[in-house]
Amino acid sequence: MQTRKNKPIRLYILKNGLGNKLFEIVNVLYLYKQFTIYFVEQLSPHQLVRSEQKLRYVFPKFESIPHCKFITWEQYDILKKKGVREITTNDTIWLQDHGFLSDSIKPYLQLDPSFQYLLKKYDFETGIFIHVRYNDKFTLNYQRLKEKDPRIYILLTPAYYADALQQFEKGPVYIFSDSTYVKYLLKDVLQEAHFVEEGSYESFFCLTHCRNLVLSDSTFGIAAAYLNQTSGLKIVAPGYTNDGMNKLKIINTPYKYTPTTYIVQDRSYIVPTSLAVYEKIKQLV
Q: How far apart are CA 140 and CA 152, in angstroms?
A: 7
The rounded distance, in Å, linking the Cα atoms of 75 and 58 is: 21
Query: Any idea how long the chain is?
Result: 285
Strands 212-214 and 128-132: parallel
Asked whether the predicted pLDDT for residue 49 surpasses 70, the reply is no
Sheet containing 173-177: which strands, arranged edge to edge?
A: 194-196, 173-177, 128-132, 212-214, 234-238, 261-264
Global pTM? 0.92
Residue-range domains of the chain with CATH:
9-108 (no CATH), 118-284 (3.40.50)
Write the single-letter amino acid at 132.
V
What number is the average pLDDT over the span 229-254? Answer: 93
Ramachandran bin of 148, using left for φ above 0, alpha for ψ from -120 to 50, beta for the remaining angles? left
| Selected residue with higher pLDDT from 54 and 129 | 129
Q: What is the mean pLDDT of residues 124-139?
A: 92
Report pLDDT for 1: 56
- Which amino acid appears at position 108 of this protein? Y
Strands 240-242 vs 173-177: parallel, antiparallel or unpaired? unpaired
How sure is the predictor about 45, in pLDDT bands with cuts at 50, 70 and 90? very low
Strand, coil or helix: 89? coil
